[in-house]
Structures are given as structure tokens and as C-alpha cells.
Amino acid sequence: MLTLYRFQGATCASKVMLVLAEKEIAYEDRLVPRSYLSDPEYLKLNPAGVVPTLIHDGNVLAESSVIMSYLDDAFPRLPLRPHHPLGRARVNYWLKLLDDSLRHLGIATYAIAMRHPILALPIEQREAYYASVQIPERRQLYRNLVEQGLEALEVEGALQGLKALQQEAERSLVADFLLGDYSLADAALTPFLARMELLGLLLSEAEGPRLHQWWKRVQTRPSFEIAVTAAAPENADQIRQLAAAAQEQIASRYAR
């Protein structure tokens, strides 16, 4: 029995959902509100207070890349990693690269869009929101991004990092997918591209022609509708509007 904890719009949960969909694995979908992540019951499962969390026959797993690799091992039908060591190493490279890039994506998301509803809260509710973040370093980061937005010191490096990630994918795409056949690497990258497109941070087609072809290709897979489209943020239209309004400021302050 598999149970996946996630909230609507969670990028890392979508990575795992893509693997579950691609491998046709049945599971219980535990869609929870963000506020539940600070609930003591959930913190017993995931002390970091993040998603996804997977429970398989009573065993608890956290961290999306760990879960993706576990699922490919535990359910070998329709494998999503090459059999040879070099191919697996290249998959691991992409999983690590995207794990390392998650901070950049979170910073951009908060600075461009997520800060606005938090900033609108009364000060005591805003402080309660900050206090609910379990990791002190992350708590301070969120405070900086909410209070300062695109002016926060962390933003420039994040935008540069997201551009570099897309450029690395552009260089790597010499076949239909990152490693030739569709793999965990493609499943991990897909929700990142979905979020960057939503935020208006996708490379132009002139800058990344192979990346754009890959993006069109992965969107035709049945797993995309299940794990990305249906799992998009509920306020996706609002995020898109905020992102459009932020483009001039991004262009003037940060050379892309």
C-alpha cells in the first residue's frame, strides 16, 4: 500500500507523481493543506515539514529524489533508469542538480508571486506564518523574500541559477529526452519547467530551441496531465498575472 502526502501545486510532489504515473503504480493521494505541514501529526512523518512524504507498507520516505529512485527500484516494471552504471550516474547527476536548484525555484516563486497574499495578512498572522516554518534558515529566507520581494539579496543568484539550469538542459538535449529515453531525469525536470513557465522565467525559443522541443514533447505524455496540469497551483492564473507584472522589474534589475 502506497500513500503520498502532498499539497496542491507542490513542485517536488509532482516529480514523484510523474514517476507513479509513468510506472502505473496505484497509490492513495493524501492532498493536504499547507497548514497541515506544521501539524505535530505530520511532523512525526516528516520533521522538516515539507512534501512529498511517501509511506509504503508502513515505511516512511522523504525527499523527492530519494522517493523517485526508491520507486524505480521497488517497482521495476517500466524502468526509468538505464541499466548500465554510467547511465545511472547521469540520472543521479540530474537529480542532484535539480535538488540543488530547488532553492532557486523557491526564491523566485516567493519573490514574484507567493509573497503577495502573505504580505496582505495582519502582522500577527504573518509572524505566525514565519514561525510555522520548521527550519530557521528557511524561515529567515521566507521573511526576506516576503518583506523585500525582488529587492531581496537572494533573488539575483536564484534567477541566474535557473537560467544556468535551463542552459545545461539545452546542452544535454541531443536526443528526444535528457538521456536518450525518458527517465527519472526528465520526470524531475518537468515540474521545474512548468513552474518557470508560470513565472515567466522560461528561456526564449531562440535561447533554448532544444529545450522548447523537449518541453512540448513531455507535455504530450499522459503523465503530464495527471501529475503537472491537474496538480498545478490553485491560484495559477493569479501567479501568471503577478509574474507578468514583475517582468519589467526583473528585466531592469537583473540582466537575463
How far apart CA 223 and CA 163 sit, in angstroms, is 26
How far apart CA 125 and CA 88 sit, in angstroms, is 46
In the predicted structure, residue 256 carries a pLDDT above the cut 60: no
What are the tens digits of pLDDT across the range 104-123?
999 999 999 999 999 999 99
Helices 11-22, 64-74: inter-axial angle, 10-degree rounding: 10
Give yes or no for a contact between 2 and 28, defined as CB atoms under 8 angstroms apart: yes
What are the tens digits of pLDDT across the range 132-187?
887 888 899 999 999 999 999 999 999 999 999 999 999 999 999 999 999 999 99
**Long-range CB contacts (< 8 A, 24+ apart) of 178-184?**
178/94, 178/214, 179/82, 179/87, 179/90, 179/91, 179/94, 181/82, 182/22, 182/80, 182/221, 183/80, 183/81, 183/82, 183/91, 184/19, 184/68, 184/69, 184/72, 184/80, 184/81, 184/91, 184/94, 184/95
